[in-house]
Structures are given as structure tokens and as C-alpha cells.
Chain A
Amino acid sequence: MNLFSPADWLAIRLTAELAGLTTVLLLIIGTPIAWWLAHTRSPLKPVFSALVAMPLVVPPTVLGFYLLVLMGPQGPVGQLTQMLGLGRLPFTFPGLVVASVLYSMPFVVQPLQQAFEAVPRRLLEAAATLRANAWDRFFTIALPLARPGFITAAVLGFAHTVGEFGVVLMMGGNIPGQTRVLSVAIYDHVEATEFDPAHRLAAAMVVFALVVLSTLYWVNRPRGTHERT
């Protein structure tokens, strides 16, 4: 297969790994955050909602810049990771994962939150009076009913991570096999006026996005289940 050069294949694989790992982590971290946002009556809710939504508004380069500063040798996070023997995060794959988790957070948390909010309270209360404790209610009622939200969250989280560029460039640079993801590879090709490989990668991403979104809409399509007798 010589549609893509070995270096480009490496970038594709790295991107898939980054997006996959980020999505899994975000589903784990994002679920409790979304549940809390969906059910809290805390006055701090707007603040936390805003924090989660920040990456939607803040330019990726700004986010990347501050992450670089925080995780750098002088930054508090950087000093912590060095103290723990983890080394420095910038310009490493783990650093990219951390950055991606933050950057893609709203794309996972918001669909989950909406899905949790759409689970009628009366169903959770009914489950409680049927002897289900809080965890039981979450796993047997909330989770199955929020399933479309989980699918949406996973797909958006993955796809959005695949497409990130500014944060990667600021935080990760361009190390093949480490931080050189697809969007950076395309940028490199264009800079080097290698339009053919750039074209192939770009077209592949367009097709990928189209397939992913079509699948998503197909999976979450409204189904006519309201037969009456």
C-alpha cells in the first residue's frame, strides 16, 4: 500500500492511538463530571460548566501555550511530574494525551450531560422505590437510557481529537512517532509544497469525518417504536 508514505502511516497510527486513548479517558473522567453537572444544584455549576466549555471558545494555540507553560520545567505541573519521576510532559505522547483530554472535554461532557438530563427523574425515583441504590440506578436506568449520548460523546471526542492541530503544535511539536499527528503531517507536506501526499491525507480525513458523522446520525436516528394497540 503506497497510498501513504511510511512516515504518513506512522502519523495516522499515532493519531488513531492518541484519539482512542483520549476518548477512553474522557468517557471515564467525563461521565462523573457530566452526571454531577446534570444533577447538581450547586451555585458553582455555571463556573464548572464554563470551565468545561472553555476549549470551545479559547483558541487552541492559547490553550496549548498555557499547557506548555504549566507543564514546562518551571510550571507547577511540570515540577510535580518531575518530582514524581514522570519527567516532563511537553513534546511527549503522554503530554499530548493530557492536552487532548482537556481540549476535547466539552465534546464528551456536553452530550453526556444532555443525555443524563434527559433521563426523567421519575424513572430514577421509581427505581429507588424498587430498592435500587444510587449505583444500581445509575447502571441499570441512567446508563442504558443515556446510551445515545455515550455514542455521540465517544464519536465527537474521537473525531475532534483527530482534528486537533494548534494545541499539538504548541505542546507537542513535530516528533515522528511521538507527537507528529496527522494534522501536523499535512501541514508539513504543504510547507514543503508536497501537495500530492497532503491531498491524500486531507481527503482521507474528509472521508473519515463524513463516514463518522453519517454513522453517528444513523445510530442515533429516531426510531418509530410507538406502536399502539
Chain B
Amino acid sequence: MSEPDPGPRRSVGAASAAIRAVPRSIAAEAAPTENNGIDLALQLARPGFQLDVQAQLPAQGITALFGPSGCGKTTVLRALAGLERAAGRVAVAGSVWQDDAQRCFVPPHRRPVGYVIQESALFPHLDVRRNLDYGQRRIPAAERRIPLDQAVALLGIGRLLERRPAGLSGGERQRVAIARALLTSPRLLLLDEPLAALDAARKAEILPYLERLHAELAMPIVYVSHALDEVTRLADHLVLMAEGRVQAQGALVDLVVRPDLPLASADDAGAVLPAVVAEHDRAHRLSHLRLAQGSQGLWIGEVAQPVGAVVRVRVLARDVSVVREPPGATSILNVLPVTLQHLRRDDAVVTLGLRTGHGPAIDGGALLLARITLRSAERLALRPGDALYAQVKGAAMMR
């Protein structure tokens, strides 16, 4: 039962990558300064739970609130929407939504947000079309920036309009819920684990739509998730949360490789590297990507994007090993000169931070992670600054 729309399903990557360069410039115009973003200072005390969050989120791109269950990320999102009453201050793009010092609290129905949660919150007594109309009808006509046709096309729900929510699959429901939120032309889209209730196939079905959203609407999105693969695929900016506090915040590509954060020691730890498609080797079904940082490149399984497309690859730490000398004959396609930047030991496992390039060339190089055993690390007598060769066994294109 495939969708007839020509959208992301047919050529998932191609569509999203081709238009990916566009939104940045639009977003940049709309938000010339960082202060135009989201300012949060929230405190909340509940039995067994303390929330104390200070964060500045950018006004563009996708920001992920990431952390284990119960770390308070959903509470932060609900406070942003006005559904939760935490103490403190919330300001978005210069307008104050909450400021306890001035006894100001904008109720949820006056906040220009789109809010989508994990379970379906479609109104069961209304068909899809009337669900979509619900929010759109309640904003002044002059403020409707997103027409119904665009939202319907963007999420590929044209066929579903006359159906009732009970007759939709989980993935379809979430797409309708996202379209419904978009139709209020929000200034900010809040997504609370919108994929968590879906199986892997449904997730794969929706992710391209989210990427298109990001690409075509230039709407800042705050995305709550505890799934690292979703986050590495979607997010530009990351706010790491633990036990009600912000552990770190910054660009995703920087945070995933920071040795002092738990992300680098997670099972599926790895570097996320922006890259450009440099060439295709059709005969061997391979594509060569030039990393945005440094002068190195990677061969990966053939991708659909054209030469010149901006993509994002993920190299898992467990897929990278190191050798001291350049290997002679090897079946491994990607052997990169790297310089050891840092080591992090967790029990009998060592995670290495490797900057691509040797000598002065390492300035501006990309940072890879490698996971090796403590025994190997000792045998190689690794020290920061060592010139090594990283053998990359696998890399996956995220988008």
C-alpha cells in the first residue's frame, strides 16, 4: 500500500539532500542573531524529581533534547508549549511566553507552537480533513503561511482526508498530526518523540518527511528523543539532559565526539561528519564523499545523491580500528591518516578521538571515534599526538 505521492518515499535521500542547502539561507535571514532563539530557564520540583534547566536554543534548524527516560526533556518541551507550569522564564524569538518575575504566563492556546506527541492525539470524532482544519480555522487568515495543500503534500496524506483516525496506521496518524500542527503556521514546532510508538519500518517511513519539513519550511524544530540514531540523523543542535539538568549543549557533530560526555562511550557511539558527494563509481557501486572538514574522503556504498550534494555520514566507533604503519594490501577501502587526540577508557574498552590528517594538516580535520580493546591500546602504547592510520570498516549515510 504505497503512497501515490511522488515525495520522499521514491527517492528518499535524493529529495532531502537536493533541497537541503536551501533552508539554511532562508533561516539565516529570518534569524540574524543568536539571541533571536529560544531562551529557557526553568525549575520544577516534584517528589523524586528536580528540574533545573538553563538553555539557549538556536532559532533555526532542528534542536534535539536528548537524554534517558525521566531526565525531564518532555517536561521542558511541555513547559515550552505552556502545558506544564514550571517556574522561570521562556522567551522565543524576542517575545516572552513566561516570566514569573513579571507574573507573565501566556496560555498554551496563545502560543504560536505546533506540538506533536508520541501517541496519536488526533480527535477521534473528526475525520482527517476536519482534524487538519481544527487548528487552521483558529488562527487569523492573515497569519496562515502554510496552505492546506502544502501541508498535505509535504506529509503525503492526500489520500487520507476523508478517513477517520481509527482507520489510519500509526505512521499515517503521526503524519496527520504533524500536518495539523503545521497548519497553525507555528513559529516553533515541538515534537515529543513522534516516532517512539512506531516500529522501525514506520519510523523509516516518517523520517524523510521530517527531513523535508526541515528543508522546506525553515521552521525551528525542538525534538525530544532518547534514540541516538534518530537524533544523529535529524538534529543540528543538541541539548544533552540528565536528571533534570542540561549536561551539555552545542552542535551535534561536536557533542557526539566529545570525550567527556556519555555519548562517546555509548554502544553506538560514533562521529557524524558533514560531507559532499565527490564522485560515483558506478561499476563498483560505490560513492566517494569528501569530508567537509579536512582534506580526507570516504568511500561508501553508492548513494542516490548527485555529485555536489551535501550529506551527513555516520562512522561508528566500533567500525574504526587503528594501525601504526600504513597497511599494505588490505580489503579495507578507507584508510585515513589520523592523529590521536584523546583516549577515554571505560573498563576494558578504550575510545580514541582521532583527528584526520598528519602533522600540521590536522588543523581543521574531522574528528573520528575508534573503539578498541584496552589490550590493543596497551600493545600499541598509544599516546595523544601519535600519528596513526584509521581503518574505517563501514560508514552510513544519515541524510
Is the pair A126, B166 in contact by a Cβ cutoff of 8 Å?
Answer: no
Q: Contact string, B74-113, partner A, CB cutoff 8 A, digits 1/0? A: 0000000111000000000000000000000001111101
10 closest A-B pairs by CB? A130-B135, A126-B121, A131-B138, A129-B115, A128-B108, A122-B121, A144-B125, A128-B109, A131-B109, A225-B166
B254 within 8 A of A: no
Given A122-B121, A145-B125, A228-B167, answer yes or no on A127-B134 (Cβ-Cβ < 8 Å): yes
A130 CA / B137 CA spacing, docked (Å):
9
Question: Which chain A positions have C-beta within 8 A of B134?
Answer: 127, 130, 132, 140
Residues of A within 8 A of B (CB): 120, 122-123, 125-133, 136, 140-141, 144-145, 225-229
Q: Which of A123, A125, A127, A226 contacts B166 (CB 8 A)?
A: A226
Given A129-B108, A130-B180, A225-B164, answer yes or no on A123-B123 (Cβ-Cβ < 8 Å): yes
- Residue contacts A-B, CB under 8 angstroms, 17 given: A125-B83, A126-B117, A126-B122, A126-B177, A128-B108, A128-B109, A129-B109, A129-B184, A130-B109, A130-B180, A131-B135, A131-B184, A132-B109, A227-B167, A228-B169, A229-B1, A229-B168
A228 CA / B166 CA spacing, docked (Å):
8
Number of B residues near A (Cβ < 8 Å) is 32
Q: Which of A129, A141, A227, A229 contacts B83 (CB 8 A)?
A: A129
Question: Which chain A positions have C-beta within 8 A of B117?
Answer: 122, 126
Residue with the greatest number of chain A CB neighbours at <10 A, chosen from B1, B119, B121, B122? B121
Shortest beta-carbon distance from A144 to chain B in Å = 5
Question: Which chain B positions have C-beta within 8 A of A229?
Answer: 1, 167-169
Question: Which chain B positions have C-beta within 8 A of A144?
Answer: 125
Shortest beta-carbon distance from A121 to chain B in Å = 10
Question: Which chain B positions have C-beta within 8 A of A133?
Answer: 107, 109
Question: Which chain A positions have C-beta within 8 A of B82?
Answer: 128
Question: Which chain A positions have C-beta within 8 A of B108?
Answer: 125, 128-129
Question: Which chain A positions have C-beta within 8 A of B169?
Answer: 228-229
Which chain B residue has the least Cβ–Cβ distance from A144? B125
Shortest beta-carbon distance from A227 to chain B in Å = 5
A120 CA / B110 CA spacing, docked (Å):
21
Q: Is the interface of A mostly helix, strand, loop or mixed?
A: helix
Is the pair A141, B123 in contact by a Cβ cutoff of 8 Å?
Answer: yes
Given A141-B123, A144-B125, A229-B1, answer yes or no on A129-B166 (Cβ-Cβ < 8 Å): no
Is the pair B119, A132 in contact by a Cβ cutoff of 8 Å?
Answer: no
Shortest beta-carbon distance from B242 to chain A in Å = 26
Question: Which chain A positions have C-beta within 8 A of B83?
Answer: 125, 128-129
A136 CA / B107 CA spacing, docked (Å):
14
Which chain B residue has the least Cβ–Cβ distance from A225? B166
A226 CA / B124 CA spacing, docked (Å):
11
Shortest beta-carbon distance from A9 to chain B in Å = 42
Which chain B residue has the least Cβ–Cβ distance from A122? B121
Residue with the greatest number of chain B CB neighbours at <10 A, chosen from A130, A133, A144? A130
Which chain A residue has the least Cβ–Cβ distance from B81? A129
Among B1-39, those with CB < 8 Å from A are: 1
B152 within 8 A of A: no
Given A123-B121, A145-B125, A229-B1, answer yes or no on A129-B113 (Cβ-Cβ < 8 Å): yes
Which chain A residue has the least Cβ–Cβ distance from B121? A126
13 further interface pairs, Cβ-Cβ under 8 Å (given A129-B81, A225-B164, A227-B167):
A126-B122, A128-B107, A129-B83, A129-B109, A130-B109, A130-B135, A130-B181, A131-B138, A131-B139, A132-B138, A145-B125, A229-B168, A229-B169
Shortest beta-carbon distance from A223 to chain B in Å = 10
B365 within 8 A of A: no
B270 within 8 A of A: no
Which chain B residue has the least Cβ–Cβ distance from A224? B166
A130 CA / B139 CA spacing, docked (Å):
9
Q: Which of A129, A136, A225, A226 contacts B114 (CB 8 A)?
A: A129
Which chain A residue has the least Cβ–Cβ distance from B118? A122
Is the pair A126, B138 in contact by a Cβ cutoff of 8 Å?
Answer: no
